[in-house]
Amino acid sequence: VKGFVSEIKFLNGDKFLEFLKKSGQIPLPPYIKRENLNPGRNDRENYQTVYASKEGAVAAPTAGLHFTEKLMDNMEKKGIEFVPITLHVGYGTFVPVRVDDIRDHQIHSEYFSLSKESADKINTARRQGRRVVAVGTTSVRTLEFLSDKDGTVREQTGMCDLFIYPGYTFKCVDAMITNFHLPESTLLMLVSAFYNRQKILTAYQEAIKKDYRFFSYGDAMLIE
């Protein structure tokens, strides 16, 4: 049923991943239409970041789809440091906000993990006055969920249910790279909280005029 979730329990948990790899399909957003709902070979290759290393997400962190190994190598040569974090995108990312008051919306919890090495690199960058640029809203939510009031992050693994909407005060992230999002989505609310809702709407209107591509396979923007 559209908009709802069915739960299936496996009696033998050890076989779960084996079953998924054999019978499962790449989960695509509902607005990407494929014949017989079957993702093609291009989706299996393209709907994945070059730096993904852990299984568990039901959707790709689409801002990361713009990065290639060559691009990342060139950026590192210019002194840009890449720091890995993990957040397994959950099915809630596709759920629209259906309440009149956004404060009543319940966001789904998602698994995250930040290593001590990554936390140390982020904290060092902040102490040195360098910017923390998050690639995607998933990275933003994870870092903000983990941040103390002064923006310090620590090694941790758990479940993130932070809902960021206008009025939120950011503590760790200085800038973000993000795609153009669906209307009435929690992702659009997050970027509106970061950059100012009216400025975001103006940017979206400009993107429409210039035929930018929206959503998962679309273009991205840097906001700060």
Cβ–Cβ < 8 Å for 141, 162: yes
CB-based contact 172:98 (threshold 8 Å) = no
Kindly give the confidence (pLDDT) of every residue in the chain, 224 residues in length, as a single tens digit, with 9 standing for 90 and above.
Answer: 445 567 777 776 667 778 777 877 777 777 777 776 566 667 877 888 999 888 888 888 889 999 999 999 999 999 999 999 999 988 777 777 888 898 898 888 899 999 999 999 999 999 999 999 999 999 999 999 999 999 999 999 999 999 999 999 999 999 999 999 888 888 999 999 999 899 999 999 999 999 999 988 889 999 99
pLDDT attached to residue 147: 97
Give the residue ranges of DSSP H helices in 39-115.
41-46, 69-77
Task: Quote the pTM value.
Answer: 0.86
CATH topology of domain 49-223: QueA-like (3.40.1780)
Residue 33 tokens, joined: 């239409």
pLDDT value, residue 19: 79
Tell me the three-class secondary structure of 50-63, residue by residue.
CCCCCCCCCCCCHH
The domains of the chain are located at 49-223
